[in-house]
Chains A and B, each alone.
Chain A
Amino acid sequence: MSVFSRFGDWVREGQIWGSVFRHGVPRDRRTRAMAVLSNVFLHLHPVAIRKSGIRLSFTWCMGGLTFFLFLVEVVTGVLLMFYYRPTVEYAYFDIQGLRAHVTLGLLREMHRWGAHAMVIAIWLHMLRVFLTGSYKPPREFNWVVGVILLVLTLLLSFTGYLLPWDQLAMWAIAVGSNMARATPVLGHEGPLAQLVQIGGVPLVHAGDDARFGLLAGTFVGPNALLRFYVLHCIFIPLVVGVLIAVHFWRIRKDGGISGPL
């Protein structure tokens, strides 16, 4: 026996290792089952799983990759938050700084490309789930959760689009948020909004309509930047996190990865 494997055994038999991993080396059925059962992260999975369900050509691994890309976005995003300041004075120059002289400024590239990849991955995941009919009973509710997660993913990407505060960002958000002013009843240029009035005084106007609520102003300005920043970094990720937990839990409760009945 070599020195290294003896050292390995010594570590694995010691008290520190044993305090973390309460099972032996996963070499037989029992310890392998224990490896999954006694690990908070791995126990998202069942211990055993249908063979055809984990075929790569069946699942395309796209749901898992969407989740992984979400984690990549969280990690890179948190690191970017140490540097970036969401104010009109600093935002653009902080992004420039990330590109020009910040160590690991490359994280911004990973964050942006990861976001694009996540959008594509979640669409592919939806396509796979649809083509295999995996939304059918008993998985109807989980499909609905997935649809909400899809919308939130697009919103995450959209709110993040504004943060670099360059021309691309501002005008993409201007185009997008302009729609909100046409919301029926709630937008000041929306249908029927004129009818909401008291004594000839319109209640829905540019200063209080749906677009105002989205941008915290009548144009894409400093308040919109702050609002999108908070939505992007705190609010939507929290909701997504909760829904991902529900999504995964329901996969287990609804019988695991789908297969022919």
Chain B
Amino acid sequence: MMNSILATESLLAAGGVEAIKSGINWICQPHWFFILSCAGTGVFLAGYRTLTKPAVGIFVLVAFTIAYSLSAFDPDFLSIIIKPDNIPITLMFYLFGFFIWLGFRQSALNDQAMEEGKPLMEAGSDDKVLVWPDLVYTELIAMVLCTVFLMVWAVVLRAPLEQPADPSLAPNPAKAPWYFLGLQELLVYFDPWIAGVLLPGLVIVGLAAIPFIDKNPRGNGYYTFKERKFAVTMFMIGFVILWLVLIVFGTFLRGPNWNFFGPYEYWDAHRPVALLNINLSEIFWVQWLNQGIPTEGRWGLPHYVYRELPGIAVLIGYFFVLPGILRVTVFKKLADQMGFIRFALMVQLFLWMALIPIKMVLRWGWNFKYIVAITELFLNF
């Protein structure tokens, strides 16, 4: 609200460029940025056949390059993108943009071909060529180009070296390496034991479990989206939104004290941020029941368990009742194909994944902190 008023004010005060910049700063507030990323991914997946046409791809490439280059005239934005360890982020925009396009372009063509009864582009599995020369030369050329690329990168840009390590002088913000910034962002919404231990563990387990959960026999060995919409959509949400978009968050939008800043905003370490986060137990006991937070246990339960009963109920509902409901509603067809154990595993991974955007939205919208806050045992959820 405050930000939007400020944005509107500066729209009126400054003209042209400044207005556009503050507009972009405004749209890069966490909730808008996140909603737009999700909407963008959704639109792309829904319209993948039209949106992967080469003309559209070239338009997006040119538009993004122009916007990115113009942004470099802004000193605050420039200071972010010229940090040597942020170069991979720029590289990432282009490489992932291109390869996601390439993958879905081929999916679109294959899906079209299957509808028309034509062969896939990967068809002809009996056509064999000799590895020498067809493959070894491709590999050789790829290695040479890669080496040249690395050498040019190494000559043009020095690897970063800051001041000598000083345990008494913490930088603000202290950021993890760029590829872990998504995990660091999760620290805002979850306690370290979830953000730093449990969720990364679940990402690894979840990735490894994919081939054992996905029993769809189609789409094995060729590009297709139509034949495996659920699997590909889930992967794109997890990989693009919950991993790559969060890295962009951490790189461009997180400044001193891990506060949110627009991409063209000065990183003011002294910007006051009034935040009073609130737990579910406070909402339940104080706001709904109009009584104090319980300090004594009941029914033989320690006071911290009694106090957190509403949150515990919510979690039990989320992880154990909701799967049952999903089983007979939206996931009915899927569950029938998968069998009990596969479905149970899939739905737990799905719910954990969904918990991330849920807690993000609750935090941004309502300053919500913990569902269960047993600080006594460091068991906050």
Binding site for B on A (CB under 8 A): 26, 29, 32-33, 35-36, 42, 45-58, 60-61, 64-65, 68-69, 72, 88, 92, 95-96, 99, 106, 108-114, 116-117, 119-120, 123-124, 127-128, 130-137, 139-140, 143-144, 147-148, 150-151, 154, 157-158, 161, 164-172, 174-176, 178-184, 187, 189-195, 219-221, 258-261
Of chain A, the residue at the smallest CB distance from B131 is: A45
B179→A154 contact, CB < 8 A: yes
User: Which residues of B (260-296) have their CB < 8 Å from a CB of A?
Assistant: none
Known: A47-B131, A171-B170. A57 touches B92 (CB 8 A): no
Q: Can you list 18 A-B contacts (CB < 8 A)?
A: A36-B136, A51-B128, A58-B223, A65-B142, A99-B161, A109-B153, A110-B151, A123-B96, A127-B96, A127-B239, A151-B204, A170-B166, A170-B167, A172-B175, A172-B177, A178-B196, A191-B380, A260-B125
CB distance from A165 to the nearest CB of B (A): 5
Does B106 belong to the interface (CB within 8 Å)? Answer: yes
Known: A157-B177, A166-B163, A166-B165. A258 touches B221 (CB 8 A): yes
Does B241 belong to the interface (CB within 8 Å)? Answer: no
In the complex, chain A residues whose CB is within 8 Å of the CB of B122: 52-53, 55, 58, 259-260
B142→A68 contact, CB < 8 A: yes
A57→B106 contact, CB < 8 A: yes
In the complex, chain A residues whose CB is within 8 Å of the CB of B221: 132-134, 136, 258-261
B150→A110 contact, CB < 8 A: yes
A106→B130 contact, CB < 8 A: no
In the complex, chain B residues whose CB is within 8 Å of the CB of A176: 176-177, 180
B120→A260 contact, CB < 8 A: yes
In the complex, chain B residues whose CB is within 8 Å of the CB of A99: 158-159, 161
Known: A64-B139, A120-B92, A191-B379. A161 touches B177 (CB 8 A): yes
CB distance from A209 to the nearest CB of B (A): 12
Binding site for A on B (CB under 8 A): 85, 87-88, 91-92, 95-96, 99-100, 102-104, 106-107, 120-125, 127-136, 138-139, 142-143, 146-147, 149-151, 153-155, 157-167, 169-171, 174-180, 184, 191-193, 195-198, 204, 207-208, 210-212, 214, 216-224, 228, 232, 235, 239, 374, 377-380
CB distance from B191 to the nearest CB of A (A): 7
> A-B pairs with the 7 shortest C-beta distances?
A179-B196, A182-B192, A109-B154, A140-B211, A170-B165, A258-B221, A191-B379
In the complex, chain A residues whose CB is within 8 Å of the CB of B149: 117
In the complex, chain B residues whose CB is within 8 Å of the CB of A190: 193, 197, 378
Known: A68-B146, A124-B96, A175-B176. A54 touches B211 (CB 8 A): no
Give Cα A52–Cα B124 distance, bound, in whole angstroms. 7
Give Cα A252–Cα B200 distance, bound, in whole angstroms. 31
Give Cα A201–Cα B366 distance, bound, in whole angstroms. 41
In the complex, chain A residues whose CB is within 8 Å of the CB of B374: 191
Q: A143-B208, A171-B170, A182-B192 are in contact. List 19 more A-B contacts (CB 8 A).
A: A52-B125, A54-B135, A57-B106, A65-B142, A88-B165, A110-B150, A119-B88, A131-B232, A136-B216, A137-B211, A150-B207, A158-B177, A161-B177, A166-B160, A167-B171, A170-B165, A172-B175, A176-B176, A191-B379
Give Cα A50–Cα B122 distance, bound, in whole angstroms. 9
Known: A50-B127, A136-B214. A172 touches B176 (CB 8 A): yes
CB distance from B283 to the nearest CB of A (A): 22
Known: A133-B220, A170-B167, A219-B167. A48 touches B131 (CB 8 A): yes
B135→A133 contact, CB < 8 A: no
B191→A182 contact, CB < 8 A: yes
The one of B164, B175, B239 in contact with A166, judged by C-beta atoms closer than 8 angstroms, is B164
Give Cα A64–Cα B169 distance, bound, in whole angstroms. 42
Give Cα A35–Cα B379 distance, bound, in whole angstroms. 62
